[in-house]
Chains A and B, each alone.
Chain A
C-alpha cells in the first residue's frame, strides 16, 4: 500500500521569495507521483507528475519537483512566487499494480505582499 505525508499544513511566504513544499511517500513498489493545485473554491488541477525518467520534473506556472528515491521524497519548488500562487497543494502517489491514487493532507500556501 502507498501513503503520502505532506510535512507542512501551512506555508506563508513573501511575494517573489522562493518556496519549497515537502512531500514524503512510502511504497513497496515502483511509484508514480503527482502534485495537484486547488485554487479557492475550485477543483484540483495537475501541476506536474513523475512517471519515470529524469528525476527533475517541470510543471506549469514555473513549478518543479525532484523525485528522490533514496529519501522517498517528491518536494515541490518555485524560485519566485506570485500572489496568484495562493492555493492549496496536494501531493499524490500511486504504485505499479495499484488501482488507487492516494493523496496527502494538503499544504496551504499563503503569499504575503
Chain B
C-alpha cells in the first residue's frame, strides 16, 4: 500500500512551458485535491475531485487544469508556466470530504 504518490519530486521549467504533475493513490479514495504551498500563505486549494469524472475549482485555479478519468489518478496540468507558479505542490486524498486527508510527499516546482 503506497498511499499517495507524486511525480516528479523536483522540476525546473522555463516560462511558457507546459507540464503535468502526476498524482496517484491506491486506497480507493473518492475525494482528491491539489494544493500549493507558499511561504506564509499555508496551503491553498487549486482543484479538487469528489469522484471519477467530477472536478471543481478551488481557491486558486487559474493556470491549472485537472481531469479525473479513474479513481486512482488525478493529474495537474500547467498550461503555460509562469514564475508565479513557483511553489510546492501537494496532492491529497480521502475516503470522503470530512475524513482525514492523506498527503503525498510533494513536488517542488521552479519556473524561471
Q: Which residues of A contact B (CB under 8 A)?
A: 6, 9, 32, 34, 36, 42-46, 49, 51, 90, 94, 98-106
B14 within 8 A of A: no
The residue of chain B having its C-beta at the shortest distance from the C-beta of A44 within the complex is B103
Which listed residue, B48, B59, B90, B101, touches A46 by the CB 8 Å rule? B101
A105 nearest in chain B by CB position: B42
Q: List 15 A-B contacts (CB under 8 A).
A: A43-B103, A43-B104, A44-B92, A45-B103, A46-B101, A49-B100, A51-B98, A100-B58, A100-B59, A101-B33, A101-B45, A101-B97, A103-B35, A104-B42, A105-B41
| B26, CB-defined interface residue at 8 Å | no
A44, B42: Cα distance in complex, Å? 11
Given A100-B48, A101-B33: A94 touches B97 (CB 8 Å cut-off)? yes
Q: Which residue of B lies closest to A101 (CB)?
A: B101
6 A-B pairs with least C-beta separation:
A43-B103, A103-B43, A105-B42, A103-B42, A44-B103, A46-B100
